[in-house]
Amino acid sequence: MDPYALDQLSAADAAVALRSYPRRFRAEVLPIAHDPEVEQRAWQIGPEGRSAAELVVATTNTLVLLGRALHDVVVQSDAALHPAVADPRQRTWEVPPGVTVEELLEQLGDACDALADAVERVHSPDWSRTASVVGDGRLSALDVVKQAVAAGIDNLRAVERTLRALRQR
């Protein structure tokens, strides 16, 4: 994601962005419900080495991780956050066995709604609260939310590139 776009991101804007992700991911990953070809394509590995389904799982799990981090920053005196909160390279996720793309998209929707709800519950003075990231400085509550918005945009763009490449094969 363009880092400059995040500079002016407010908490309210972040909540709106988070609530838009389920619709936007669904439009890319499963634009035609119950179409076996579309579902199959979502599981195919693209040129970047990941499938659209894997990117949905990565987004969901990242949002859950960052939601927990936001909670810790807001309620703990000096929380210590996992390095994956600040470093996307530390975020590795496995696709759970036996799930459908529809189920993955529902889980993404739940994670987006939960984090957006959490963002809307944070009181204004708490946005400047900080926590230490193990081995990587400090992040504010707003920085954590910016990480979530960036992860959603970055993974949505990766889904778009992956599916576009697969359709062109």
In order of start, what are the domains of the chain with their CATH numbers? 3-167 (1.20.120.450)
Q: How far is 102 from 55, CA to CA, in rounded Å?
A: 14
Q: How far is 24 from 131, CA to CA, in rounded Å?
A: 31
pLDDT digits (tens, 9 = 90+) for 42-100: 999 999 999 999 999 999 999 999 999 999 999 999 899 999 999 999 999 999 999 99
The proportion of the chain whose per-residue pLDDT surpasses 70, expressed as a percent, equals 98
Q: How far is 76 from 42, CA to CA, in rounded Å?
A: 40
Q: Please provide the distance, in angstroms rounded to a whole number, between the alpha carbons at the two ends of the chain.
A: 27
Q: Given this model, what pLDDT does residue 2 score?
A: 55
Closest by Cα among 42, 50, 14 to 26:
42
User: Quick one: pLDDT band at residue 4, thresholds 50, 70, 90?
Assistant: very low
The pTM assigned to this predicted structure is 0.94
